[in-house]
Amino acid sequence: MRKTIIFTLTLLSLAILPAMAQVQLGGGLGEVWTNFKLYSTEMEKYFQDNLSENLNPVETQSRNALDSSKGDTELKIPNPVAAGQKVRDNIINESYRSQSNASRFENNVAVRANGVSNELNRFITRGAAEAILGKDGQNRTQVKLENTENTLKNIADISDQAEVGSQGFIEKATSLIPTPSGRLTAATAGDIATTGAIGALSQLIGATQLQAIKIQQAQSAILGETFAQTIQTNQSLQYSNLNLANISQQVEEANRARRLDTSTEAARLLRATSQLDLFRSPSKKEVDKSDLKIKKF
């Protein structure tokens, strides 16, 4: 019986060993909070470096709108809806009428406020794209993908080692099962039966663990492919957002040019009409009244 217990413990320990294999993750994988903070930091850097160029001469109002729309968390990502509303209110309340912005933002306060709001939203969209598609964003993406590939390679190596270990475990379990010979007592027969059952169970455990490891390897590969596809999809969305921002800007510029042409044509017609009034010949009735006034005098 003692031999049976020792044999049982030996087989169970061998069965547990393949399940103790650990996969070492690549550096940077799982650091989701750190990576997202880097994204928000690069977005903020874009705002600091390009705000003057993109929103001059309403830089002060735009910066105030961006700062006031940021959340209280460490991310500090501005809310584009709140930022747009804030800058509209600032423009309207201050009645910003500087002639320096006439070339880009309308002289009409309400129209100009909407134009600045739309430009600020496009500016935020470009900042988000820069944080992902820019140099630093691409470096982060490369590191993530390389770490993912290295992790999948580690999983494949561990799976191969587990397969070899499981095959050896099954062979060991088979060899340790005693073969009855001669006349057996009831106790000896019971020990042999127990040992045989334990050996068969250990073989089943080894095969099951090997199948589980193979399944996990396949799942890991699928997750790695999904992660890569998600990154590509995100990049495609950023390109789409940039295109939409450019289209929106072109539409606004076309509308502004049309309003300018309409205003210019109206001014030209008014000037032409005024000039015609100056050179218009007096009527006969007006001439007669002038002669009467002269004679009376």
The residue type at 237: L
* Span 5-16, pLDDT tens digits: 444 545 555 444
The pLDDT-based confidence of 258 (bands split at 50, 70, 90) is confident
- Give tens-digit pLDDT for 56-78: 888 888 999 999 998 777 888 89
Band of pLDDT at residue 100, cut at 50, 70 and 90: very low
Residue with tokens 């928000």: 40
Give burial (CB, 10 Å; 0-12/13-18/19+) of 296: exposed
14, 97, 131, 137, 245 from 121: Cα distances, Å: 62, 22, 16, 21, 9
- pLDDT for residue 21: 47
| pLDDT band at 99; cut points 50, 70, 90 | very low
